[in-house]
Amino acid sequence: MKTQFPYTEKIDFGAYIDKYLEREDAIKRLPTEEELLELARKSIVREQLVLAPLPDGTAAEEGDTAVLMTESDIPKFNKPSVTVTLGRGFYNRDLEAAVIGLKAGETASVTVGDQPVKATVLALKRKQVPDPTDEMVKALGQKDLKGNPINTVEEYEAYIREQKTLETLFNICYYVMEDILGDYKVEDFDEDDIRILGELEADNFKKLFLEKEGIDLEKEVPQGWRDQGVNSLEEFIKARYDWYKVKITQCLIYLNILDLPCEGRTDPTDHYEVLSELQMKVIELIKEELERRN
């Protein structure tokens, strides 16, 4: 690549991590193993929740389902049986609040408007969460980040662990890079570099759209492109001119941080995936920095 990074000093990446962590809205740490396992469990069983009757003598809690007999001169509150989810306020917020804490057979009284309302608890039910099983996981039809089917609870936990950890790290990388890009600007870009990046992306898109959607970009473009006024691959690549400048700048910054030369497999004009490969290396560095601080 002919474009040069106009700075000789090594970027103090750790200082930018510290600057990010000082933000009020910063993600301060990676999710814990306990948090990840609980998230995986909830994701697996989210369609498996069942309402189960509560044992006699168990008091109602917010979120429980109560079957009530209500008595009042108000028709809405004069029912031999009505099912209410406590705490949502869909039936009557004051009445639901009065029922919370009661057991089956007990009665609460409230005033709605100027009319007394009495509610007797006939039955209580609560959502029960079963233990996750491999069969539940298979029913989800989920694939991992490499596109492989997930068939076991252990595989699903590994998927959630990788997905949520990367999600956190990518979020941090975005804000850190935003600060670095503001401080380290590249103004003098070589036009050959920009042209080559356009050619690499064009080749990548032609292969991708042909394989995934059966569209030959040499002859037609996706409807989404036409909706934006782009009627050819050439027009699309021209519209990406400024993005290629950003890509070059990001690559040069990543290479500085990682102390790598801009040549061969680390040259963005060598192959299309260089930026994502360098970003993943920086992601690992961010992970190490966070772990070191904790």
Residue-level pLDDT, tens digit, the chain, 294 residues: 999 999 999 999 999 999 999 999 899 899 999 999 999 998 998 877 788 999 999 999 999 999 999 999 999 999 999 999 999 999 999 999 999 999 999 999 999 989 999 999 999 999 887 889 999 999 999 999 899 999 999 999 999 999 999 999 999 999 999 999 999 999 999 999 999 999 999 999 999 999 999 999 999 999 999 999 999 999 999 999 999 999 999 999 999 999 999 999 999 999 999 999 999 999 999 999 998 887
What is the pLDDT, as a whole number, of residue 238? 94
- C-alpha distances in angstroms, 1 versus 96, 180, 269? 69, 21, 6
Given a contact cutoff of 8 angstroms between Cβ atoms, the answer to whether 240 and 205 are in contact is no
Burial class (CB in 10 A: 0-12, 13-18, 19+), 257: buried
CB-based contact 159:137 (threshold 8 Å): no
The CA distance from 128 to 106, in Å, is 23
Global pTM?
Answer: 0.72
| pLDDT reported for residue 50 | 81
Quick one: 157 exposed, middle or buried, by C-beta within 10 A (0-12, 13-18, 19+)?
buried
Domain extent listing, the chain: 13-40+151-293, 50-128
Q: Secondary structure of the chain in the HEC alphabet?
A: CCCCCCCCCCCCHHHHHHHHHCCCCCCCCCCCHHHHHHHHHHHHHCCCCEEEECCCCCCCCCCCEEEEEEECCCHHHCEEEEEEECCCCCCCHHHHHHHCCCCCCCEEEEEECCEEEEEEEEEEEEEECCCCCHHHHHHHCCECCCCCECCCHHHHHHHHHHHHHHHHHHHHHHHHHHHHHHHCCCCCCCHHHHHHHHHHHHHHHHHHHHHHHCCCCCCCCCHHHHHCCCCCHHHHHHHCHHHHHHHHHHHHHHHHHHCCCCCHHHCCCCCCCHHHHHHHHHHHHHHHHHHHHC
pLDDT in tens, 243-285: 999 999 999 999 999 999 999 999 999 999 999 999 999 999 9
The CATH architecture one would assign to domain 50-128 is Roll (3.10)
Please give the pLDDT value at position 294: 75
Amino acid letter at 233? L
